[in-house]
Structure 1
Amino acid sequence: MIASLDWQEIVLRLGTATLAGCAIGLNRDLHGKPIGLKTLGIVGLSTATVVLLAVQFAEPGKISDAASRVIQGILTGIGFLGAGVIVHESRRFRVRGLTSAACTFLAACLGIACGAGEWPIVGTAFVLAFLILTVGNRIEHWLHRALGGREEQHDADARGGEDVS
């Protein structure tokens, strides 16, 4: 049985995925990171498009084996894009860009959820992501001070190196 979505549902799913990706990318842009609004907007849109295409041929409300394989392929492939934003600084033996790579993965996951029309998951993940991205640094700094974390990590974070790991 082929499920047919109307234009409004297609626009809602693709538009939401694009906007979610763009919003996460804007956060990366504002922090001067190597991936931004356009890239993550396209990640959200492209993953939602592929999943939407796959679910069009599934039973309503179910993810088919074919759609499952599409999702697996997306998540494998997105790792390569994420790896592209991770940089190794040979001077200090530090890795940078991990948060941006995680945001790339998140934009893909939100795109998948939007393509599947799973709105409670999209909304919850989006809110939690923005809480982490907006107040996560402050909580991390506070915990470092309170629990006696490594000062060098805290100092690097204070200079804007939040993606250090």
Structure 2
Amino acid sequence: MDQWELMLRLLISGVLGSLIGFERRSHYKEAGLRTHFVVALGSALIMIVSKYGFMDLINTQSVSLDPSRVAAQVVSGIGFLGAGTIIVEHQNVRGLTTAAGLWATAGIGIAIGAGMYIPGISATALILIGLEIFNKMQKTVMYSTGIADVSVEGINPVLDVLKNSKVRVSNIQVNRNHKVNNVSEVRIIFRLYTREQDEIKQIMISLLRTKNVKNVNIE
């Protein structure tokens, strides 16, 4: 195999991975340009080694080779890297799209490393187009997760504030918290859907003005 063509495959893989990484970094995600660049280039290198690195052993007797065996480990191995970008906070999961992007970037690197230029480039274009389209669709309706610590007597007033607000409220959970000065407290967890950030601020102000509300946090 021509060594220059193999170098070209590495270069193309790095460029394609960088494009996806740039899109992720432009939205302030955890894994950005450098991470996707290294994942794509490394996946292509592993694929090249898996496919061409043992050519001198093919004619050796009693030696059987599976050219896909080394490359197959990329698919499972990339999962550990993707897991590092997933964050669970206040029962809200973030980073799944970035983790999936790393997994897809590894697939693109494998495809280019195997010499499948058109599928690899097509997959990159489709991922970029899909991320931009769905990101714009998601921005039309924003959602925030809120947490309110209140005494038992303050549950109904808080629920009334959420019910009478102008935004859509869902996933309301009431969990028993702890006792402070022998007063039982509960934690109310809810999700707000709206297009206006000012409406979320107004809800927070209304909750803080409600009697028996200890703390409110909306993210």
- TM-score by length of structure 1 reads 0.76
1:96 aligns with 2:112: no
1:67 aligns with 2:63: no
Which of 1 and 2 has greater Rg?
Answer: 2
Partners of 2:81 and 2:42 lie apart in 1 by 13
Q: Which runs of 5+ in 2 are unaligned?
A: 59-63, 143-167, 171-190, 198-219
* Percent of aligned pairs sharing the same letter: 35
Query: Residue 87 of structure 2 corresponds to which residue in structure 1?
Result: 87
Partners of 2:109 and 2:193 lie apart in 1 by 33
Counterpart contact for 2:141–2:194, Cα < 8 Å: no
AA in 2 matched with 1:98: L
**How is 1:15-164 mapped onto 2 (pairs within 5 angstroms)?**
15-56=11-52, 57=54, 66-89=66-89, 91=90, 93-140=91-138, 155=194
Deviation, 1:134, is 1.5
- Call closer, same or farther: CA 1:65–1:128 in 2, change over 3 Å: farther
Partners of 1:7 and 1:17 lie apart in 2 by 15
Partners of 1:83 and 1:25 lie apart in 2 by 17
Higher share of residues assigned strand: 2
Counterpart contact for 1:141–1:154, Cα < 8 Å: no
Deviation, 1:138, is 2.3
Counterpart contact for 2:17–2:40, Cα < 8 Å: yes
SS at match of 1:66: coil
Aligned length: 143
Note the alpha carbon deviations across 1:94-121, whole angstroms, 9 max, x for none: 1000010011001100110011010121
Note the alpha carbon deviations across 1:35-85, whole angstroms, 9 max, x for none: 0111110000111001011111469xxxx9633222221110100000000
Note the alpha carbon deviations across 1:4-56, whole angstroms, 9 max, x for none: 2x133112110011111111111111111110111110000111001011111
- Call closer, same or farther: CA 1:122–1:53 in 2, change over 3 Å: same
Partners of 1:154 and 1:12 lie apart in 2 by 47
Tell me which of the two structures has the higher relative contact order, counting C-alpha pairs closer than 8 angstroms and 6 or more residues apart: 1
Give me the CA root mean square deviation: 2.9
Higher share of residues assigned helix: 1
- TM-score by length of structure 2 reads 0.58
SS at match of 1:95: strand
